[in-house]
Amino acid sequence: MTIKVTLRHVLFALAVAFAGLASAAPAEAATPAEAFVQDNIHVGLDILNNKSLSTDARRTQFANFLLSLTDMKRIADFTLGQYRRGASPADLAAFDAAFQNYAVAVYQSYFAKYAGQTLKVTNSQARTQDDFIVATALIDPNDHSGQAPLEVDFRVRTDSGKLVVTDFSVAGIWLALEERDQFTSFLGQNGGNIHSLISHLSDLAKQYRNG
């Protein structure tokens, strides 16, 4: 089985790249989770618009920023589904590294395509006292079709002692659930061999970087 790079992957990349690809008019956020999302929109934008940096340096800074914003290990472990329970600590560590490498390659491949878009925080809801969904609207200033803006949602957790993003949803498609379905299907067809999945993700990451 080959993990396909579909429109859902493009939407996933768009969602994760929100921090650098969006600008929004300053607004007073109603909750800490909303403020976390809104503030980081501007931080990422500043990195991508810093023309004093080389392309490689700008991408490196942007990647480091994304990793500081996102609990990548938590997402990676979730995407393994039931296969995580039988994996050795060494295999889990290797997969976490491969997933991070793959995810960053996806973000870097797509972020430039969405320059000029605006992400505006619209509302949020608390699932529990440390689990929030922050809703934003993706606005294209050049789109005069009258269609409603695309909704991009962020799941923000605070149970690790700080605010981090643990999942993303674009048009109702949640990243972690989508990736878990694809990865567990791949593992199911490859005897549960995590090293096969690691190798496949590494190949995909190279394709993104060379594309």
Higher-confidence residue of 116 and 72: namely 72
- Average pLDDT of the chain, as a whole number: 81
Q: Which amino acid is at 130?
A: D
**Lowest-confidence pick of 10-19, 73-82, 95-104, 190-199:** 10-19
Which of 28, 27, 66 minimizes the C-alpha distance to 47? Answer: 66
C-alpha dist (Å) from residue 68 to 37, 63, 121, 192: 13, 9, 20, 30
Contact 156, 163 (CB under 8 A): yes
User: Does the CA dihedral 184-189-194-199 come out positive or negative?
Assistant: negative
Domains of the chain (ranges; CATH) run 7-205 (3.10.450.710)
What's the pLDDT at 1? 60
- Judged by DSSP in three states, 88 sits in coil
> What 8-state DSSP symbol labels residue 70?
B
pLDDT band at 85 (very low <50, low <70, confident <90, very high): very high
For residue 90, give both structure tokens: 């060494």
What's the pLDDT at 62? 80
What's the pLDDT at 25? 41
> What 8-state DSSP symbol labels residue 86?
T
- What is the pTM for the complete model shown? 0.76
d(CA 197, CA 164): 26
Q: Is the pLDDT of residue 120 over 90?
A: no
What's the pLDDT at 26? 44
Residue 86 dihedral angles phi and psi, to the nearest 5°? -95, 5
> pLDDT exceeding 90 applies to what percent of the chain?
39
> pLDDT exceeding 70 applies to what percent of the chain?
79
Q: What is the average per-residue pLDDT within 85-105?
A: 92
For residue 178, give both structure tokens: 């989508």
Residue 179 dihedral angles phi and psi, to the nearest 5°? -70, -40
* pLDDT tens digits along 159-211: 888 999 998 887 788 888 889 999 999 999 999 999 999 999 999 998 887 76
Which of 18, 11, 48, 7 minimizes the C-alpha distance to 165? Answer: 18
At CA 12, angle to CA 118 and CA 97, rounded to 5?
125
d(CA 32, CA 5): 34
Higher-confidence residue of 124 and 146: namely 124
* pLDDT tens digits along 44-82: 767 767 788 887 888 788 888 888 989 999 999 999 999
What's the pLDDT at 110? 60
Q: How many CB atoms lie within 10 A of CB 210?
A: 8
Q: How many CB atoms lie within 10 A of CB 145?
A: 6
What's the pLDDT at 95? 97
**Lowest-confidence pick of 17-21, 32-36, 43-47, 184-188:** 17-21
